Amino acid sequence: MHLPLTLSGDAERDTEAVLKGLSDGSAYCVFDSVAPAWGLRLSAAAKTVTYSLPGEGAALEAETQAWLYGSDGATELKTREGALTLPAGAYRLEAMRRGRPWIFSNAVWVD
């Protein structure tokens, strides 16, 4: 599991930060043997899901495929960063690289 946070050394504060990250959708499962994945961001607010995948440039690398899954099916992502207006529900991101499973996010909720 990856969490986008820096530990402080204060056990109580770090525990709260880890639990918050696990519950707010900012944690994700990644297979580092496929490719590093630090920098993934996925959030939801005001009927919009915003995402940013690791990598450089605007386009996804040719060997990378990514989808946003919700109750209404899957939306293929064509760019490395973006924002989508979506109906209310839970959404999670999955990505494959070179035909291998790579990233599986926790769900984020659109109200």
pLDDT digits (tens, 9 = 90+) for 53-91: 887 777 788 788 999 999 888 999 988 899 999 888 889
Backbone angles phi, psi at 42, to 5 degrees: -145, 125
**Separation between Cα atoms, residue 67 and residue 94, nearest integer Å:** 5
Closest CA to 81 of 66, 92, 91: 66
Residue 93: its pLDDT value, please? 92
pTM of the model: 0.78
- Residue 32 DSSP code: T
